[in-house]
Chains A and B, each alone.
Chain A
Amino acid sequence: MLRLEARQRTPAWLNLTLPLVAIVVTLILCSGLIVLAGAGVADAYGVMFKASLGDSYAITETLVRAAPMIFTGLAVTLAFRAKFWNIGAEGQLLAGAMASCFVGAIPMPGPLAMLLMAIAGAAAGAAVALIPALLRVRLKVDDVVSSLLLNSVVFYILMALIEGPWKDPFSGYPISPPIEDSAGLPVLIEGTRLHLGVLVAVLAAPLVWLLISRTVLGFRIRVTGENPEAARYGGIDVQRVIVVAALLSGALAGLAGVGEVGGVHFQVMSDISPGYGYSGIVIAMLARLNPLGVVPVAIFLAAVMTGAEAMSRATGVPAFLSDVIQGTALLAMLVALLFTAYRVRRSA
């Protein structure tokens, strides 16, 4: 019989290898689905790899897709560190997209427009995150539920906008007017879509790491998340810390929306985010709430998403496989986390 025995301590190598093991297990589990869809496993994964990381253009495409996921991954990481369960990165991203699109459509010099778009997007994301944070600290409303449900509210506000005042009067399509050409984020490598926002996203990760591990605010966030009672006894204004963490988290998620509007789509439409906000949760968990881990994990999941589309075209396996891989990876990681706290023993 197998049984779990609590570990006295967790070996360091285990912490590092677990995400990798979780990913390998995920790919093995999902290969069953590929077989069921009538394709070869090696073929399918081969196409996925080639299309996402096989050449320099593919890599830039993967990075472009990773950028919003890095932001939402960081947003969730920061919030979860304070045990503010922000499931609302999706809505905060959409709010950031709408606000930046609104600002970007106003004619003004390019650099100023980009700065104001970022500020507006971050502020809009923060404002959306503030709602569940205030509900929690003032009224003890469950933040998981309120932040999750707000995603729908924000999404339908977006729909109302693009079906109403923002609707294209000529084509009748539900898409917003585009931002000014000068407000678009500059492309870093000619001939690709690699835009400035990707660089900002990658640079944001070490900044969030510094915030969490090297500042007094970060210390207070960590302590509040781990033990609010000890935090209060230690002189920390726990409610304030939760609200500040929520604001920062929402702002990061809002920036994900800014990057999509300013660097990829240049306007807002209903499918501007294929669930990047929810992917942020998977990414944060796979990265074990370490901001530096968010970047490689986000790039991995972005590669899966980019590759899945190509695989679908080449082998006929539905592109939904990328969603399955994401979900399975999260579950595999949660199981893997169990093994950091427990060891499996065979008992007589």
Chain B
Amino acid sequence: MNSPPLIEMHAISKSFGPVKANEGVDLAVAPGEILGLLGENGAGKTTLMNILFGAYQPDAGEILVNGKPVSIRNSADALAAGIGMVHQHFHLASRLTVLENLLIGIPGKGGRLDRAGALARLDEIARNYGLHLDPDQPVSALSIGEQQRLEIIKALFRRARLLILDEPTAVLAPSEVDGLFSALRAMAAQGLGIIFISHKLNEVRALTHRCVVLRHGRVAGRVDVPAETTALEMAQLMCGHEIVPPERGPSVPGEVVLSLDAVSTGGHGGMPLREVTLAVREGEIVGIAGVSGNGQRALADVVSGMLKPQSGTMEIAGKRVAAFTPREVQALGLGRIPEDRMTTGLVTNLPLADSMVLPRIGTEAFSAKGLLKPGAILAFAEEQIRAYDIRCPGPMVRAGALSGGNLQKALLARELAFDPKVLIAAQPTRGLDIGAARFVHEKFLALRARRCGIVVVSEDLEELLALSDRIAVMYEGRIVGVLDSAEASVSRLGMLMSGAGGNA
């Protein structure tokens, strides 16, 4: 890779008030190179990429494209310089079709959209990189993975030479990740540059040619051969200290605290449950594995009281669940960590304290005779913020201002403070950095030691293998196998997840 860099950033600095988001950051991407950009939440990755894409102006430093200094004032400048970005949250018009979305902002010919030209270009992109989409599908009918593909196509359509992907795999199922990676490799092979931002170190090791690690806004280290560097070494670069994996001591499971017996659900958008039977005992962690969309969401919804099954029964701590409402399961001693913290867990526009007391606002801890106890609410929030080291200006800050890891801590705090007998956590570490994910895992293990029964639904097999005493695998709405942690491995789980279990 001796060709001149596609893009260079020199000594970039940017401050927000007293916070130095970036300080003297150097970064370069050569044609055909996939560069990994690593760092914990708040390390300055997003700010750096927003500077490159023109959303922010750097306080100091310069950007060179093909060796020439450029000033990128907005996204139009970035696109003109050949820089495309795929954000974590997509910017698509959901009522328009794939083709119409591509044509947004593209000048037409004499006031008419150039449909034929666009179709030809779409076809070319599909052939070159293996990115196929039906041009006439409305975006609302696309899966998350397909929407992401459309975002990538959109950037290529505008002839981007450098593509920035901000945590692209956070929203994808494992099978979709493979498709994304092969497309990215195809783009690199044809001379495009790619900046790949991720928390998942194994993905970074598998995909990228070189890595830059940010910490506290500065470059903390560079990794020249990611494939030959261990995930642990990278993780230590990111957090700046050694990481010891959490210790999972032995545990003797006791009474059954959560049991499902032949639970089936109707379709509610996703894969329904089909006769799912599962028992979770106190003091054990049961992992739920499966390729995304095989009924895990329905399982979490039923247990959390968000979805009433059509048939079958569920018991929590020996009591039969009748109404399947959040209040009922909570009253029976169930704690819940939702899959989507921002939309189902928290109210981003209200104070953090409100989100922290939300599920139990009607209980005597926080209200009496219909009147709130503002003092108790505030005291609870302050206490948990201290106990969980939630980094925020205080309980009255907008919940949406917190980082993902701190939000997850807040959600853990609001459930664990009430000493649940059973906890169900869906994708508890999705999108979290290593430090925050570790914190979550330690809390689960501490809960297990306190004889709580824990269900962890996750698509991260390594997380499940590290935490679980038993792992149940879901396939097409059924549990097709339950493995003890001693006999579980990625390959055995993978077999069951693909439906090739045989012993279901």
Contact = CB atoms under 8 A, between A and B. Distances in A.
Interface in A212-239: 214-220, 222-223, 226-227, 229-236
A5 B401 CA distance: 16
A233 B367 CA distance: 19
A234 B325 CA distance: 10
A215 B369 CA distance: 9
B403 interface: no
Contact of A230 (B344, B362, B370): B344
Nearest to B73: A347
A291 to B, nearest CB: 16
Interface of A: 1, 3, 5, 8-9, 214-220, 222-223, 226-227, 229-236, 347-348
Given A215-B371, A235-B362, A223 B354 contact: yes
A233 B371 contact: no
A314 to B, nearest CB: 47
A3 B374 contact: no
Contacts of B485: none
B375 to A, nearest CB: 12
B250 to A, nearest CB: 35
Given A223-B350, A347-B57, A230 B355 contact: yes
B371 A216 contact: yes
Q: Give the most central of A1, A231, A235: most B CB within 10 Å.
A: A235
B343 interface: yes
Contact of B71 (A222, A234, A348): A348
Contacts of B359: 233-235
Contacts of B348: 226-227
Given A223-B354, A223-B358, A230-B355, A8 B16 contact: yes
Contacts of B73: 1, 3, 347-348
Interface in B107-157: none
Contacts of B371: 214-216
Contact of B306 (A9, A223, A233): A233
Given A1-B73, A223-B358, A226-B347, 19 more contacts: A3-B73, A9-B401, A216-B367, A223-B347, A223-B354, A226-B348, A227-B346, A229-B344, A230-B358, A233-B304, A233-B306, A233-B326, A234-B326, A235-B327, A236-B358, A347-B57, A347-B73, A347-B74, A348-B73
Interface of B: 16-17, 56-57, 71, 73-74, 304-306, 325-327, 330, 336, 338, 343-350, 354-355, 358-359, 361-362, 367, 370-372, 374, 401
Contacts of B349: 226-227
Contacts of B374: 214
B346 A220 contact: no
A288 to B, nearest CB: 13
A235 B330 contact: yes
B338 A227 contact: no
Contacts of A217: 370
A83 to B, nearest CB: 11
A235 B71 CA distance: 51
Contact of B354 (A9, A216, A219, A236): A219
A240 to B, nearest CB: 12
16 contacts: A215-B372, A216-B362, A217-B370, A222-B350, A222-B354, A227-B346, A227-B348, A231-B358, A233-B304, A233-B306, A234-B326, A234-B361, A235-B326, A235-B327, A236-B358, A347-B74
Contacts of A8: 16-17, 401
Contact of B361 (A214, A216, A232): A216
Contacts of B346: 227, 230
A217 B362 CA distance: 9
Nearest to B304: A233
| For the complex of A and B, 7 pairs with smallest distance between CB atoms | A235-B326, A234-B358, A235-B327, A234-B359, A227-B347, A233-B344, A226-B347
B201 to A, nearest CB: 29
Nearest to B368: A216
Contact of B345 (A222, A233, A348): A233
Q: Give the most central of A229, A231, A348: most B CB within 10 Å.
A: A229
Contacts of A222: 350, 354
A220 B361 contact: yes
B118 to A, nearest CB: 29
Contacts of A220: 361
Contacts of A235: 305, 325-327, 330, 359, 362
B61 to A, nearest CB: 14
A236 B344 CA distance: 12
A218 B350 CA distance: 13
Contacts of A223: 347, 350, 354, 358
Contacts of A227: 343, 346-349
A219 B371 CA distance: 10
A218 B370 CA distance: 9
Contacts of B326: 232-235
Contacts of A229: 343-344
A227 to B, nearest CB: 5
B304 A219 contact: no
B306 A232 contact: yes
